[in-house]
Amino acid sequence: MVTTSSYSNVNVGPEVFINFRGEELRENFVSHLYKALRQSGINAFIDSDMVPGDKLITLFKTIEESKIALAILSSKYTASQWCLEELVKIMECSTNGEGCKNLVVIPIFYKLSTSIVDKLEGEFGVNLLNVWREPGGARESRIVKWNAALQDMLSRAALIYDGSMYVNNFHFTFTK
């Protein structure tokens, strides 16, 4: 269970699961988004809320319990197998997969063109290929699932942050 010690007005239980590539976004865009959600009384979950040593299955359980998932796709997103596996789970839960609520999914394209995602071009495509080449698991089924999840994000209404505004000046406002 996610703790609420940082913000006393936050609801118990995950409401918003934030899926993102930590190395690239944790200290800027996501930290501002997370703080704004929590201050608005919305229980947001990011992987730093996990107990050290927790496994991917713990994240899957949190996704299943969440009402909304924000999938923040960036140029380095596909360098993480965990991000891709979470995205597959998010897609499954958005279609009432086993053990899931009807998860609402909002893709956010962070300084990333949707055409790059669609065509798997540039750093985004290279990273995906490199992760796919890593040993372990059924490679063919992994790439098919990952691509299906990425294509699913392209089929949804999405938010696009092109970087033209400084993240520090970007105002997040949420209402319940």
pLDDT digits (tens, 9 = 90+) for 133-154: 887 766 778 899 999 999 999 9
pLDDT of residue 91: 96
Could you tell me the pTM of the whole model?
0.84
Confidence at residue 2, expressed as pLDDT on a 0 to 100 scale: 40
Is residue 176 very low, low, confident or very high in pLDDT (cuts 50, 70, 90)? very low
Spell out the residues 6+ positions from residue 127 whose beta carbon is closer than 8 angstroms to its own.
Answer: 75, 76, 77, 78, 79
- CA–CA dist 13, 50 (Å, integer): 14
User: Side-chain half-sphere of 125: how many Cα atoms within 13 Å?
Assistant: 10
A 10 A CB-CB count for 111 gives: 15
Q: Give the Cα separation of 72 and 90 in Å (integer).
A: 12
88 closest CA partner among 131, 129, 21, 145? 145
CATH label, 16-175, candidates 3.40.50.720, 3.40.50.10140, 3.90.1150.10, 3.40.1390.10: 3.40.50.10140
- The tens digit of pLDDT for each residue in 62-114 reads 999 999 999 999 999 999 999 999 999 999 999 877 777 789 999 999 999 99
For residue 168, pLDDT beyond 80: no
How high is the pLDDT of residue 4?
Answer: 40
The pair of three-digit structure tokens given for residue 34, joined into one six-digit string: 């997370």
Alpha helices in the chain (DSSP H): 22-25, 29-39, 56-65, 81-94, 114-119, 122-133, 139-154
**Residue 39 near residue 171 (C-beta atoms within 8 A):** no
Distance CA 22, CA 7 (A): 22
What is the structure's pLDDT at 28? 87
Would you say 18 and 29 are in contact if contact means Cβ atoms under 8 Å apart? no
Give catalytic residue positions: 86
Rg (CA), the chain: 16
Measured at the CA of 125, the angle between CA 88 and CA 80, to 5 degrees, comes to 50
Token readout for 53 is 């040593």
Residue extents of the structural domains in the chain: 16-175
Q: pLDDT of 47-63, one tens digit each?
A: 887 766 678 888 999 99
